[in-house]
Structure 1
Amino acid sequence: MRAVVFQGPEEPMEVEEVDRPDCPPDGVVIETEACGVCRSDWHAWQGDWSWIGMMMTEGLVFGHEPVGVVAETGDEVENFREGDRVTNPFNLADGSCVHCKEGHQNRCERSIPMGFVNFSTGAFAEEYPVRAADTNLIKLPEGVDSVDVAGLGCRFATAFHGVAHRVDVDPGDWVAVHGCGGVGLSAVHTADALGANVIGVDLNQEALDKAEELGADETIKVDDVQDVPQAVKKKTPKSRGAEVSVDALGIAQTCRNSVNSLGKGGQHLQIGLTTSEEEGEVSIPVDNIVTDEREFIGSYGMPAHEYDEIFRMMDHGKIDPGAIVSETISLEEVPGTIASMGDYDTVGIPVCNSF
């Protein structure tokens, strides 16, 4: 089958013929319909994340925001059959650890990040495997578009899980989103759907315009202000600060800006993972966090059972992940699209839907 193959950090990736994946006894092989192109793919291509144990090796097939049709099922699979249209979280759980049994499959002790390890082929390929299918697969509602579902992928799912389930967003709250790329725009859209007043923060005016389309009530162009946290606070009633602030990029500046945008008792939501410059370490104002009783909260992926909530909101017109999709591309265009993400001018979510 054809797949985009990693050649080493920052080396041009190539479309090659590779072996079709084997079907796990408890899993499936899926014929790919679409797959989002994520900034995490760019991080992996750069060779980032060794500090959290992620070692990218030549021969990897990236792609972790998939949708497709079940082509083969293992003997142990009970709830899915060939022909089912499905998607899955990027962090594949095993279904047996204590976190899985408590409904937090995204925290699985034996989680496998598909497309980032050689034994879990990603979806920039004609087919890809999913282990523990009964735990990880989500059957799609009738008539849902494959490109829209790929837009749900890692970015929308992580943002939705974070904004809707990890922090407390009530109608009328002020939510600041620092970084309006794919995951940031997803956070803007989700917070708006929950009734919050949303402030989008970015360097890119086109990204801020898109944030307004997706529900941002206010925007701040970073290079137009001297102090981003103060600019955020001035947008809120009596300049008290945001109830929730999101770092959707993962660099030191956006993390600190987000924490400092909060009012007393506010919650910082960390979605973006760091780059090789930070290597997972960012200094933050600990004493202010203590005296203001702020919270620092992480969000990683989303358990499979929460997809139904998204599908219900889509059906009622409350959210539209497809509105964040910026373009559709072919498999041959994936390497160039990933490499271009280093320019930080991507608006929305590119989706590969031609294999």
Structure 2
Amino acid sequence: MRAVVFQGAEEPMTVEDVDRPEPGDDDILVETEACGICRSDWHAWRGDWEWIGVMPQPGLVFGHEPVGRVVEVGDNVDRFAVGDRVTNPFNLGCGSCHHCRDGRGNICERSVPMGFVPFQTGAFAEYYSVRNADFNAVSLPDEVDPVDVAGLGCRFATAFHGLAHRVDVTPGDWVAVHGCGGVGLSAVHVADALGANVIAVDLSAEKLERARDLGADRTVEVGAVDDVPQAVKKFTESSRGADVAVDALGIAETCRNAMDSLGKGGQHLQIGMTTSEEGGEVSLPVDTMVTDEREFYGTYGIPPNEYDEIFRMMATGKLEPGRIVSETVSLEEVPGVVEGLGDYETVGIPVCDGF
């Protein structure tokens, strides 16, 4: 099969013929219809995240935001048959540890990140496999478009899990989203769907315009203000600060700005992961967090059982992940798109749908 193959950190990736995955008894093999191209792919290509154990080796196939049609089913798989349309979270669970049993498969004790390890290659390829399919694979409603589902990917789904299940967003709350790349725009759209008043923060006027289209009520252009947290607070009642602030980028500046834009009792949601400049460590105002009782939450992917909530909101038009898809490309174009994500110029989510 044809696939995009990693050649080493910051080396050009190539499209090559590679062996098709062989699914085990608990797995399914899926013919790829679409796969989102994520900033996490850029992180891995660049060589970030060694500090959390992500060390891709040459020969790996990236791609962790897939949708496709089942073409082969392992002997032990009960829930799926050839011809079914499916997606899956990028962080595949074992299905049996206490987190998986509690509905939190996204933080499985034996989680396997698709497309980042050699024993679970990704979906920048004509075919991909899904381990522990009865637990990890998710059936798709007949009416959904594969590009829209690829747009859910890890970014939209992670934003949904974080805002709907990790922090407390209620109608009328002020939610400040710092960083309006793919995951930030997803967070804007989700927060709006949950009834929040949304403040979008970014350097790019083009991205802020897109954020307004997706539901942002107010915007802060970083280069046009002297103090980003204070600019955010001025939009809230009595300048009290945001109820929820999202760092959707993962650099020290956005993390600190998000925390500082909160009011007392506010909740910080960390979606973005750091680059080699931070190395996984960011300084925070701990004493203020204590005296103001501000809370810090992380969000990592989505458990399989939460997809139905998204599909129900898609069916009523409250959520439209396809609106955040910026472009569709062929497999040959994937390497250039991945490398270009480091320029921070992509507005939305690119998706590969040509295999």
Given the two structures, how large is their TM-score scaled by the length of structure 2?
A: 1.00
Report the Cα distance in structure 2 between the residues aligned to 1:35 and 1:79, rounded to whole angstroms.
23
Report the Cα distance in structure 2 between the residues aligned to 1:164 and 1:209, rounded to whole angstroms.
24
Give the partner amino acid of 1:191: A
Report the Cα distance in structure 1 between the residues aligned to 2:86 and 2:290, rounded to whole angstroms.
44
Secondary structure in structure 2 of the residue aligned to 1:116: coil
Report the Cα distance in structure 2 between the residues aligned to 1:9 and 1:150, rounded to whole angstroms.
25
User: Which residue number corresponds to residue 300 of structure 1?
Assistant: 300
Report the Cα distance in structure 2 between the residues aligned to 1:39 and 1:138, rounded to whole angstroms.
23
User: Which residue number corresponds to residue 153 of structure 1?
Assistant: 153
Alignment of 1:234-249 (within 5 A): 234-249=234-249
Report the Cα distance in structure 1 between the residues aligned to 2:108 and 2:82, rounded to whole angstroms.
27
Report the Cα distance in structure 1 between the residues aligned to 2:329 and 2:66, rounded to whole angstroms.
14
User: Which residue number corresponds to residue 137 of structure 1?
Assistant: 137
Alignment of 1:153-232 (within 5 A): 153-232=153-232
Report the Cα distance in structure 1 between the residues aligned to 2:38 and 2:352, rounded to whole angstroms.
11
Secondary structure in structure 2 of the residue aligned to 1:160: helix
User: Which residue number corresponds to residue 97 of structure 2?
Assistant: 97
Report the Cα distance in structure 1 between the residues aligned to 2:60 and 2:236, rounded to whole angstroms.
46
User: Which residue number corresponds to residue 119 of structure 1?
Assistant: 119
Report the Cα distance in structure 2 between the residues aligned to 1:263 and 1:297, rounded to whole angstroms.
15
What is the deviation of 1:114? 0.3
Instruction: Report whether the alignment pairs 1:269 with 2:269.
Output: yes
Point out where structure 2 has 5 or more consecutive residues left out of the alignment.
Answer: none
- CA deviations 1:166-204 (Å, max 9, x no partner) are 000010000000000000000000000010000000011
- Aligned-residue Cα RMSD (Å) equals 0.4
What is the deviation of 1:147? 0.2
Report the Cα distance in structure 2 between the residues aligned to 1:354 and 1:24, rounded to whole angstroms.
27
Report the Cα distance in structure 1 between the residues aligned to 2:341 and 2:242, rounded to whole angstroms.
29
Give the partner amino acid of 1:266: G
- CA deviations 1:234-257 (Å, max 9, x no partner) are 111110000000000000000000
User: Which residue number corresponds to residue 317 of structure 2?
Assistant: 317
What is the deviation of 1:110? 0.3
User: Which residue number corresponds to residue 49 of structure 1?
Assistant: 49
Give the partner amino acid of 1:348: G
What is the deviation of 1:99? 0.3
- CA deviations 1:115-145 (Å, max 9, x no partner) are 0001101000000011000000110001210
Report the Cα distance in structure 2 between the residues aligned to 1:150 and 1:134, rounded to whole angstroms.
20
User: Which residue number corresponds to residue 74 of structure 1?
Assistant: 74
Secondary structure in structure 1 of the residue aligned to 2:159: helix
- CA deviations 1:251-284 (Å, max 9, x no partner) are 0000000000000000000000000000100000
Q: Across the two proteins, how many residue pairs are aligned to each other?
A: 355
User: Which residue number corresponds to residue 9 of structure 2?
Assistant: 9
Report the Cα distance in structure 1 between the residues aligned to 2:65 and 2:102, rounded to whole angstroms.
24
Report the Cα distance in structure 2 between the residues aligned to 1:293 and 1:49, rounded to whole angstroms.
30
Report the Cα distance in structure 1 between the residues aligned to 2:240 and 2:60, rounded to whole angstroms.
48
Secondary structure in structure 2 of the residue aligned to 1:147: helix
Report the Cα distance in structure 1 between the residues aligned to 2:354 and 2:264, rounded to whole angstroms.
49
What is the deviation of 1:70? 0.4
Report the Cα distance in structure 2 between the residues aligned to 1:59 and 1:232, rounded to whole angstroms.
45
Give the partner amino acid of 1:330: S
Report the Cα distance in structure 1 between the residues aligned to 2:240 and 2:24, rounded to whole angstroms.
54
Instruction: Report whether the alignment pairs 1:18 with 2:39.
Output: no
Percent identity among equivalent residues? 73
Instruction: Report whether the alignment pairs 1:330 with 2:338.
Output: no
What is the deviation of 1:220? 0.5
Report the Cα distance in structure 2 between the residues aligned to 1:33 and 1:41, rounded to whole angstroms.
19
User: Which residue number corresponds to residue 259 of structure 2?
Assistant: 259
Secondary structure in structure 2 of the residue aligned to 1:163: helix
Point out where structure 1 has 5 or more consecutive residues left out of the alignment.
Answer: none
Alignment of 1:334-353 (within 5 A): 334-353=334-353
Give the partner amino acid of 2:338: I
Give the partner amino acid of 1:339: E
Secondary structure in structure 2 of the residue aligned to 1:118: coil
User: Which residue number corresponds to residue 106 of structure 1?
Assistant: 106
